Amino acid sequence: MKEGCKAFTVPQPGAAMSVLKKRSIEKKCQLEVVENLHFKFPPNTTSCPPHILNLNASLAVTLCKTWLSIKHNNNLGHLMSKEITEKALFNCTWPGRFQVKHEKNIS
């Protein structure tokens, strides 16, 4: 966390959220807890559990919207429509996240 900057997180267990809140106060930055946007991913999209996939996507979309609103003076227009956002999310891959690699009797 940096002083004067926004910090983002998804909901955390009580103790972890308490640490994040205290740290944001120490660093004088605004902590935003991102809500689950409840995207409806196609079944079997990934081995990632759906609730984790939704939280990751919600955080990513919120970060993008925040950055775009800063860079485009709060005029997002067509840049982050729900249709474009869902299409992009459904067609992206996140290699390494919950990925199991099978190679020469090692997994």
pLDDT at 98: 67
Name the band, by pLDDT with cuts 50, 70 and 90, for residue 3: very high
Give tens-digit pLDDT for 64-86. Answer: 888 888 887 766 656 677 778 88
pLDDT at 79: 67
Higher-confidence position of 78 and 106: 106
> How does 24-35 read in b/e, with b if 16+ C-beta sit within 10 Å?
beeeebebeebe
Distance from C-alpha of 99 to C-alpha of 36, rounded to nearest angstrom: 23
**Strand (E) positions, 4-107?**
6-9, 30-33
Mean pLDDT across 81-106: 77
Angle between helical axes of 82-91 and 50-71 (0-180°, round to 10): 130
Distance from C-alpha of 12 to C-alpha of 23, rounded to nearest angstrom: 14
- Taking alpha carbons only, the member of 34, 83, 30 closest to residue 57 is 34
State the pTM of this model. 0.76
pLDDT at 45: 63
Higher-confidence position of 54 and 16: 16
Instruction: State which amino acid sits at residue 57.
Output: A
List the domain boundaries for the chain: 1-33, 36-100
63: tokens are 């970060």
Give tens-digit pLDDT for 20-30. Answer: 999 999 999 99
